[in-house]
Amino acid sequence: MLRSKIVSTGMYVPPQIIKNDDLAKMMDTSDEWIRQRTGIEQRHWAADDTSTSDLAYEAALVALKNANMDKSEIDMLIVATLSPDHEFPGTACFLQKKLGVPGIPALDVRQQCTGFIYAMSIADQFIRTGMYQKILVVGAELQSKGLEKNDQGRDVAVLFGDGAGAVVMCATEVKDVKTDSHVLSTHLYADGTFAEELWVAAPGSGNSSDRIGTKEIEDKLHFPQMNGKTVFLNAVKRMPEALQAAFKQNELSIEDIDLFIFHQANLRINDMIAKQFNIPEHKVFNTIQKFANTTAATIPIGLDEAVRAGKLKKGMLVASAAFGSGFTWGSAVYRF
């Protein structure tokens, strides 16, 4: 049976660490408020001369090295990001230029916090059909340049960090579904009814002036606007639903899963999901404390951190779920 599997992971975060106390110097917030409401202790912010594809490039090099693979072997690039280098072309094309791998398809996924699950699913489908064999899948975000770092923007600014994670996914012939490494399933969902509950409105053709004009800037439409409570309530409903769908399809129960690597939006969201399913604490791997919400990068960063921490080993069954802007949500179950 032809399936895809993750053969390696990699990650990169820029060196500058911003602690909660550093944010308290820029806006009316506190370490206590941020930790209590989100679990975040610090995040990394990139330097001014850095772009999202630079972060993606560094993570990609690590994943390629860990796969013992030359970049020329890759036959497709997928980059999930909500913070692209430029409006167009996609960040995957800038990554392609930096990697020096012209000719292969380069695809951007704009599914925000669920971007990596969507990207993994797309890679899985291309591999299952036999069209491609070795796909580099990257989640990368440079959020810090797009945050309103003052009192008005504090509800969003404290949540996000910069970073990138990458995996190499390859074709594999699965003989024993119970032991062989492979992606068992992906489940993808969206509900655009909630598109304006978490969004960046400008620039864009939906605006009345030149995609972004004085009015849009005065109204701060180029910064993220979020209805935090609606996001929270939907996340704790939709992520469990996506997991249930995966368990049902694969005839699995919670006990069968060795490790849960969820999207990192808020530690309270993940704690509530773990409680709902009775998942023991040691089976949930969180990284939000160190990196905050790196949106499309949280899951591949979690995978790489878990490998390096010795928590994720070959043959383990992993479940991931994510929820974010769109609203979009989804799950993936894979034997590592």
33 forms part of the interface with ligand ACO (CB under 6 A): yes
DSSP secondary structure string for all residues of 6-22: EEEEEEE--S-EEEHHH
Please, is 170 exposed, middle or buried when counting C-beta atoms within 10 Å of its C-beta (0-12, 13-18, 19+)?
Answer: buried
Return d(Cα 105, Cα 107) in angstroms, integer: 6
Binding-site member from 5, 44, 154, 238 for ligand ACO (CB under 6 A): 154
User: Minimal CA–CA distance to 120: which of 66, 166, 65?
Assistant: 166
Residue among 203 and 228 whose Cβ is closer to ligand ACO:
228
The residue number whose beta carbon is nearest to ligand ACO equals: 324
> Catalytic one among 44, 93, 113, 187?
113
User: Is 170 noted as a catalytic residue in this protein?
Assistant: no
User: Minimal CA–CA distance to 143: which of 108, 118, 112, 116?
Assistant: 112
Binding-site member from 10, 163, 300, 324 for ligand ACO (CB under 6 A): 324
194 forms part of the interface with ligand ACO (CB under 6 A): no
70-109 positions binding ligand ACO, by CB under 6 A: none
Q: In this structure, are residues 319 and 240 in contact, taking their beta carbons and an 8 Å threshold? A: no
Binding-site member from 158, 183, 257, 279 for ligand ACO (CB under 6 A): 158
Binding-site member from 232, 241, 244, 284 for ligand ACO (CB under 6 A): 232
Q: How far is the CB of 175 from ligand ACO (least distance, A)?
A: 38
The helix/strand/coil state of 65 is helix
Is the preceding omega at residue 160 within 30 degrees of 0, hence cis?
A: no
What does residue 177 show for φ and ψ, rounded to 5 degrees? -65, -20
Window of 42-50, 119-127, 175-183, 228-236 that interacts with ligand ACO by CB under 6 A: 228-236
Q: How far is the CB of 271 from ligand ACO (least distance, A)?
A: 12
Strands (DSSP E) found in 64-105: 76-80
- Which residues are CB-neighbours of 300 under 8 A, at least 6 positions away? 9, 10, 11, 59, 116, 137, 138, 139, 164, 165, 166, 167
Binding-site member from 40, 74, 79, 265 for ligand ACO (CB under 6 A): 265
> Catalytic one among 44, 182, 187, 263?
263
Residue among 38 and 185 whose Cβ is closer to ligand ACO:
38
Angle 101-333-284 (CA atoms, 0-180°, nearest 5)?
Answer: 105
Binding-site member from 147, 231, 257, 301 for ligand ACO (CB under 6 A): 231
User: Is 293 noted as a catalytic residue in this protein?
Assistant: yes
Binding-site member from 266, 286, 294, 298 for ligand ACO (CB under 6 A): 266
DSSP secondary structure string for all residues of 167-225: EEEEEEE-S-TTTS-EEEEEEEEE-GGGGGGEE---SSTTSSSSSS-HHHHHTTTTS-E
113 forms part of the interface with ligand ACO (CB under 6 A): yes
Size of the site for ligand ACO (CB under 6 A): 23
Q: Residue 210 is which amino acid? A: D
Binding-site member from 96, 121, 264, 295 for ligand ACO (CB under 6 A): 295
Window of 184-192, 204-212, 227-235, 278-286 that interacts with ligand ACO by CB under 6 A: 227-235
Q: How many CB atoms lie within 10 A of CB 215?
A: 12
Q: How many CB atoms lie within 10 A of CB 303?
A: 29
User: Is 113 noted as a catalytic residue in this protein?
Assistant: yes
| Catalytic site positions | 113, 263, 293
Please report, as ranges, the residues that interact with ligand ACO according to CB under 6 A: 29, 33, 37-38, 112-113, 154-155, 158-159, 198, 226, 228-229, 231-232, 235, 265-266, 293, 295, 324-325
